[in-house]
Chain A
């Protein structure tokens, strides 16, 4: 119903202008399969004189000599939405817009598209005081269509949009009179994407014909050097020579013949990849924030640390893959995992089966990472949601519908690499969960059962209660790290502050010195973190380490710190690592992974402790293996 076009435009415009978006979508039923739709934003607004063309002229403003990662490159464009509304109901669209500035007034008008001439027809144009609106745009139209619910619905589109745009606030009034609000999760704006010139290797013959025809350069050499990126004069000479084209000729006269030769020549030269800093990935922290914010109702037990892969190039276009996994809680466990696909921060709801993301997920062996997958192929089963975002200056869609990404090998490989990383986090979470259960068991023994036992036998024998400290140490034989989120004490609530604590217990028979590592969200790190007693160092990514020095048997130490701001809750204290100690001795934290990027502490201790542990053989299961007499009731 055209909502996607309008919302994508609003988000693009806000991003460009550095405004935190506030978008309100309203749908009401006006007749049989006829709905009134309005989309209002707080964007920068549209110049009065540009309004008719933006909404009433197809393909207006399509510029392909400048490439950038934007939402608007998808979909058919807002003017097509206006035109469809005109045709299906005979009614014009109503547009209002105001740009920022004290002297500016708001303008409103009714616009329809003259389908013969592709020119806007404007009526009822007037300036008006838009009370309470400093800037923004309203688009309103009546259109034919069906209002759908479920997986491929406006609601789902807006919900998923909110996940990958946590800086936006989206309000939705559905035709049944219900209001859904996706509140802004963060004030942090995504970095702006930059425009780049096309890369020669991304050019098809038709592109080259059209692009050369509109070039303002005087000759072909200048056209190649100035209208493309990464083309040096020397490279341009090489290309024109191979294509047998006079570098001094007019690019407008290249035509089909010349374009074919030039495109072929380009494929024969080696050109540097396009710059990739023009991309604006969402970033691991914001993906997590968005997922946490929108999916909280499902109470997932785990948000795998999302992955943003370094940018790569395919067919002359830079691209970047991001992935995340959410696991457990109330996510249905007995059905296929839910796949959320995004291209340039726009949810893709249709043609899931034809998409490269689905293909990459289906051809990944999830069984090794804790999800069910029959025969190691196909969409896995389990309580999980998998998110994959493809950001590119030109997302290669399979068709004009722009709902499925084409199977480009470079993109496929990158998606698989991103999936592997998040899947590994998931697996380690599941392992940790199992280990935690075991840790909990030991704790129950030493904290509850053994003291009871000591008391009871002493009572019975009439002797003093023995000190069980050494027995406890022998049973545990671990250094235990217990992560916790500190609850607010005494009702003093600081909404933007979260305190975390690691309590380190030494339940072994010798002292230990080692490092504790965690990855803090940089945005949330206050100076106080560096002032902590055990603080050792922290890098610019927020990877922090604390040093536990010579902790004695049967004693404990506490690492405590505070995080601030709206990113504070993205930190999961369970993701904690150690170095400098044999990880087998540690419960509650894992060995520092090899790809951490910072060298951990070397292990200097001997493995003596481990020998004592090796007698931890499984005992015979107690109880009887068979019921001796149990006779089945006769059926």
Chain B
């Protein structure tokens, strides 16, 4: 049991104690949490990321939902404390199944258990990783000339994310904290995060990591916390610039926002996860026009998402305002692989060099 875990345990027990004292003094048990939606995220100039603001929500046992969540909290804190004591860990999915035996506290969907784990983080200022709860395998991979020192069944081992791995790259573990994971050495000039596996494979096949001396990270859709944390550490500890290359649609804009600005869901730990200097290199609405890319029509959901972004404080700058409006105006979106219209090498020969040169990275 390390110090952080011991602290976590104490704080979790504190939550139960507060419920106990409410009940014991005849009060309605109440918990106060930061409001976790876009109305309550604020830019923190110190860390340059978006964090929760001062709005709070009160959870009381007066409603079924509030009371049930509290009961779940009691079960979950006990469960976590047990795991910490017994040096075990479980996946969020396992906890969801374990809750089958919790009667009224049973989780009905896995989202509920994920949200609760995040609630506990906000209440204790701890990290889910300290609670011995891990997500499913994130699916994220890194490819590039970086050597990681990481925990294996046979102890700590050095792995080079180019020489010691298959073309798939190095699989990012669920926890990339210093105790079990270190960045030992690297010889790259920047890190490029990619949304789709197709583009990741294309760049590797075209030899782009060598050509541009960069590391590629396949985000595999929504970037898991460990993926974002790893990006953050590469940026902070090794001074590597980060660029993000995604599809050109509203959902991809959010992927970038979660890396660069902090995600709404995890704004309590934006400090750990967000990389404020990350830069977006497309596909933007302007790219669709400038490169005359093949497109799909925006769906109603896409349009709704774009409008939601217009009222999202994280996107309230000139760049995003004009990009979002441009996309709404043309009513089109494009995938990053649409660049193949000009041939398989076009992305590595023309598009990325253009973009990176603009940023002064090539």
Contacts and interface: CB of A to CB of B under 8 A. Distances in A.
A456 B74 contact: yes
Contact of B251 (A441, A459, A619, A629): A629
Contact of A452 (B105, B251, B254): B105
A334 interface: no
Interface in A372-395: none
A475 B254 CA distance: 41
B193 to A, nearest CB: 14
Contacts of A456: 16, 71, 74-75, 78, 105
A453 B263 contact: no
Interface residues of B, number: 57
Contacts of A454: 20, 23
Contact of B74 (A460, A474, A626, A631): A460
B264 interface: yes
A460 B105 contact: no
B24 A466 contact: yes
A453 B221 contact: no
A616 B62 CA distance: 9
B175 to A, nearest CB: 21
A460 B71 CA distance: 12
A519 to B, nearest CB: 34
Contacts of A449: 61, 64, 67-68, 70-71, 104
Contact of A619 (B63, B103, B105): B63
Interface residues of A, number: 38
Nearest to B249: A631
A451 to B, nearest CB: 10
B63 A629 contact: no
B16 A625 contact: no
Interface string A453-479: 110111111010010111100110000
Contacts, number: 129
Interface stretch (B52-60, B125-133, B142-150, B177-185): B52-60
Given A452-B105, A624-B36, A629 B255 contact: yes
B13 A625 contact: no
Interface string A611-635: 0000010011011111011111011
Interface in A578-627: 616, 619-620, 622-626
Interface stretch (B26-34, B91-99, B268-276): B26-34
A629 B222 contact: yes
Nearest to B17: A461
A445 interface: yes
Given A445-B61, A445-B64, A624-B36, A632 B20 contact: no
B38 interface: yes
Nearest to B312: A626
B258 A629 contact: yes
Given A632-B302, A634-B296, 14 more contacts: A445-B61, A449-B68, A449-B104, A450-B61, A461-B17, A616-B62, A619-B59, A619-B63, A622-B65, A623-B115, A626-B38, A626-B264, A626-B308, A628-B264
Contacts of A457: 16-17, 19-20, 23, 74
A444 interface: yes
B206 interface: no
B22 interface: yes
A460 B26 CA distance: 19
A448 interface: yes
Contacts of B301: 632
B265 interface: yes
B299 interface: yes
Contact of A624 (B64, B81, B251, B265): B265
B295 to A, nearest CB: 12
12 contacts: A445-B63, A453-B61, A453-B67, A457-B17, A460-B77, A468-B23, A474-B28, A619-B58, A624-B36, A628-B263, A629-B222, A629-B255
B66 interface: yes
Contact of A475 (B61, B263, B308): B61
A456 B61 CA distance: 15
Residue of A444, A449, A469, A632 most packed against chain B (CB within 10 A): A449
B35 interface: yes
B37 A471 contact: no
In the A-B complex, the 8 residue pairs with the closest CB atoms: A470-B26, A629-B222, A466-B24, A631-B251, A456-B74, A620-B57, A449-B67, A457-B20
Nearest to B263: A628
Nearest to B77: A460
B57 A453 contact: no
A629 B64 contact: no
A632 B299 contact: yes
A466 to B, nearest CB: 4
Interface in B76-114: 77-78, 81, 103-105, 111
B69 interface: yes
Interface string B1-43: 0000000000001001101101110111100000111100000
A474 B221 CA distance: 47
Nearest to B302: A632
B64 A441 contact: yes
Interface in B290-309: 296, 299, 301-302, 308
Contacts of A634: 296
A353 to B, nearest CB: 42
In the complex, which of the residues B24, B37, B68, B103 has the most CB atoms of chain A within 10 Å of its own CB atom?
B24
A622 B57 CA distance: 8
